[in-house]
Amino acid sequence: MENEIFDIAIIGGGIVGAATFYQLQKHHPSLKIILIEKEPRLAAHQTGNNSGVMHSGMYYKPGSLKAKNCVEGRKALVKFAEENDIPYDVCGKVVVATDESELPYLDKIFKTGQENNIEGIEKINAQQIKEHEPFCEGIAGIWVPCTGIIDYVKATNKMVEIALEINPQSQLVLDTEATAFEKENGINIISTNKKTYRSRFNIFCGGLQADRLANKDHVNIKEKVVGFRGDYYELTDQAKHKIKNLIYPVPNPDFPFLGVHFTRMTNGDVECGPNAVFTFKREGYGKTDFNLKDTIDALTYKGTWKLFFRNMSFGINEYRRAFSKKLFLKTLQRLVPDLTMDDIKPGRSGVRAMLLSEDGDTRDDFRIEYRDTSIHVLNAPSPAATASLAIGDNIREMAEKHFLLEAVS
């Protein structure tokens, strides 16, 4: 029906959009909700191209949304996976220091983990590292038993499936790009490449397009989303036995990423990576992918250049490694010296959305804002997938407050 009015429209079908749909529908079964996704499938971008790790929450500033939602969301996600037959494994990981200079930051991470009440973490020595990962070399480490792996694509699809079962009047529309947002007699008019939809309230979970969707919804934000591509290698079959579960380095405190690590996937493959390089296309997964609009957007923004200059040496090294298997292997050998060129092969890539401030800072917390009849998820980088059910519940509470959902439902 062309004049059908939905109670809520959710724009964006990654795991945050799916979790928001699920939480709203679960708590308000009578609400008629539509989820609009521009790709032909759910979880097509960040959700479907990440490392598949359920993070513990030990890296994030105590009291932050990232810390709180990661811990709560991880526990909720494990429960959800258990109840809905989603492939997962709480296998644990080791964070490994390979140099004396890393020990103070290893201690800092451990202290943060304790403050965030991460279950079961313990400091381990070189011999204990080998008990968990026999091929890994390090001088000290942290054992994090509650870290796990999961199939995020299957989790995303299951959340939407359950929501649609709760209320058959709700809808999922794929391959449908929202292009404009206006109001008419107090109702939101959502123009798409296929048809027009109407809703009382909108929730935006646009990931890599979060800033552009905000601007289309007449919300002016100073920051811009800048994309960083991460390239992975995979272990060949002959080398998979060298990694049991997850191995992480001590992250460099001056660089806003966790560093190249080893991840066993739920299908048994083992990925190595990712690096982190500026991408010339927000949704580009190839090393030479290019989009003129995305490039101009990023390179005419002063925050991008401040980030570049602040991390010049890191950025150059990341780019060199992106195009050199030998250099990538050298980085991996810091943790697992036995690896050879024949042990790794090129894998997939992912792109991370970072809401970059004008001063070039990428360390912003999760950021969700309300305006008029809309809620915008403006910044949801890692660990957003782990935290998705907690984020969705936060959005549900925000919607209840600002949208007066009890009156609608």
Reply yes or no on whether the pLDDT at 163 is more than 70: yes
pLDDT tens figures, 95-146: 999 999 999 999 999 999 999 999 999 999 999 999 999 999 999 999 999 9
Architecture of domain 224-363: 2-Layer Sandwich (3.30)
In the predicted model, what is the mean pLDDT of residues 165-170? Answer: 97
State the pLDDT at residue 405. 75
Model confidence at 363, in pLDDT bands (50, 70, 90)?
A: low
Q: What is the pLDDT of residue 318?
A: 80
Q: What percent of the chain has pLDDT over 70?
A: 97
pLDDT at residue 409 greater than cutoff 60: no
Please report which confidence band the pLDDT of residue 43 belongs to, taking 50, 70 and 90 as the band edges.
very high
pTM across the whole model: 0.95
The arithmetic mean of pLDDT across residues 169-194, rounded, is 97
User: Which residue type sits at 138?
Assistant: G
* Structural domain boundaries in the chain: 5-47+153-223+365-408, 93-145, 224-363
Confidence check: pLDDT of 383 > 60: yes
5-47+153-223+365-408, CATH topology level: FAD/NAD(P)-binding domain (3.50.50)
